[in-house]
């Protein structure tokens, strides 16, 4: 049985959401929504669905929506659909404020709706495979660097890029943050474009997180240190490297280091994310990236933003 779906916002990300919903067997893409009539018509034509300029027309008509509109509109749109029992996949960050996120989470529970947040890196095959080697991280370092683009400058680099790594860190460490130190700078936009944050967790783990949208190269890497092991996740190239202390010595007094590396085939993380959303709806399950996950990532990102001012 197909789930009737729609996409709200047909900008850079929204058009890809529409393509995935149109291609998946268990989805019937009913409409795409954008206040830009020409854009809505083009995406609708490309995906054989209806073009709508006011999302209210679809409330009660569809079973599930993706919200890929600007962050400032996430709360109102998601609230309107959740109140009517429509399942929601909302792009990150979930909302502008933690209070708004709390209300959406409560509405989803009240109306038995799936509320999933679009933290796409959770579906990267290198991160999925990390569970096999991850034990108890003691230090984590991440770098997420990108050239400057006008897209997503409605929020700072913490809410734009760093929030991906914040979500992953919170999911890996699974402990409360007890201290945050941060530095950042405005380079090309009116908000912070490059930032570094040092997060200390209640279990003693420390994470050093850097995000930049004014770099000359693209890099998305995370390095994880745990007792007797060092792990590298290359998100961009889908590589998981594991270096660990083996048996015996390589030279007198020097432990033998064993290494293994997995390189994963190119994967469609967005398709996997949307497929997981539809599966959660069908099986009435908690999504992999829940509203609570989105809230925790947002809360941490806002704390870092407040420090930077």
Predicted pLDDT at 4: 98
Residue 83, pLDDT > 90, answer yes
Integer Cα distance of 9 and 17 in angstroms: 9
Predicted pLDDT at 309: 87
User: What is the mean predicted confidence (pLDDT) over 167-180?
Assistant: 97
Q: The tokens 């996950």 sit on which residue?
A: 293
Integer Cα distance of 108 and 10 in angstroms: 24
User: What is the mean predicted confidence (pLDDT) over 211-226?
Assistant: 96
Are 172 and 224 in contact by the 8 Å Cβ rule? The answer is yes
User: What is the mean predicted confidence (pLDDT) over 176-204?
Assistant: 97
Predicted pLDDT at 152: 65
Percentage with pLDDT > 90 across the chain: 91
Residue 154, pLDDT > 90, answer no
Q: Where are the alpha helices (DSSP H) in 246-288?
A: 269-283
Ranges of each domain in the chain: 3-120+270-289, 122-266+300-308
159 DSSP 8-state letter: I
User: What is the mean predicted confidence (pLDDT) over 148-171?
Assistant: 91
| Phi, then psi, of 27 in degrees rounded to 5 | -125, 140
HSE toward the beta carbon, residue 6, CA cutoff 13 A: 28
Q: The tokens 């999911």 sit on which residue?
A: 171
Predicted pLDDT at 18: 98
Residue 74, pLDDT > 80, answer yes
Q: What is the pLDDT of residues 220-230, one digit of tens each?
A: 999 999 998 99
The helix/strand/coil state of 20 is helix
Q: What is the pLDDT of residues 8-33, one digit of tens each?
A: 999 999 999 999 999 999 999 999 99
User: What is the mean predicted confidence (pLDDT) over 171-186?
Assistant: 97
User: What is the mean predicted confidence (pLDDT) over 128-141?
Assistant: 95
Predicted pLDDT at 27: 98
Q: Under CATH, which number does the domain 122-266+300-308 receive?
A: 3.30.360.10
CATH fold of 3-120+270-289 reads Rossmann fold (3.40.50)
Predicted pLDDT at 245: 87
Predicted pLDDT at 293: 98
Predicted pLDDT at 249: 75
Q: The tokens 């390095």 sit on which residue?
A: 223
Q: What is the pLDDT of residues 188-197, one digit of tens each?
A: 999 999 999 9
């Amino acid at each position: 049985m197909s789930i009737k779906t729609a996409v709200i916002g047909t900008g850079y990300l929204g058009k890809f959401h529409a393509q995935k919903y149109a291609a998946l067997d268990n989805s019937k893409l009913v409409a795409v929504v954008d206040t830009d009539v020409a854009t809505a018509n083009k995406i609708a034509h490309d995906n054989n669905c209806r073009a709508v300029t006011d999302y209210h027309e679809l409330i009660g008509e569809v079973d599930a929506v993706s919200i890929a509109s600007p962050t400032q509109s996430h709360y109102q749109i998601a609230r309107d659909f959740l109140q009517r029992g429509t399942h929601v996949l909302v792009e990150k960050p979930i909302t502008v404020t933690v209070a708004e996120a709390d209300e959406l989470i409560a509405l989803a529970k009240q109306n038995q709706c799936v509320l999933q947040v679009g933290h796409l890196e959770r579906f990267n095959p290198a991160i999925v495979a990390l569970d096999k080697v991850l034990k108890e991280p003691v230090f984590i370092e991440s770098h997420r660097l990108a050239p400057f683009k006008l897209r997503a400058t409605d929020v700072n680099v913490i809410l734009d890029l760093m929030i991906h790594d914040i979500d992953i860190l919170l999911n890996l460490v699974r402990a409360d943050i007890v201290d945050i130190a941060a530095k950042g700078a405005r380079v090309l936009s009116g908000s912070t474009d490059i930032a570094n944050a040092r997060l200390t967790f209640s279990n003693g783990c420390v994470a050093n997180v850097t995000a930049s949208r004014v770099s000359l190269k693209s890099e998305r890497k995370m390095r994880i240190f745990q007792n007797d092991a060092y792990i590298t996740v290359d998100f961009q190239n889908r590589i998981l490297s594991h270096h660990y202390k083996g048996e015996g010595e390589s030279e007198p007094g020097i432990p033998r280091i064993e290494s293994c590396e997995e390189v994963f085939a190119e994967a469609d993380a967005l398709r996997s994310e949307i497929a997981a959303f539809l599966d959660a709806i069908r099986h009435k399950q908690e999504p992999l990236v829940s509203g609570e996950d989105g809230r925790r990532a947002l809360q941490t990102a806002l704390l870092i933003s407040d420090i930077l001012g």
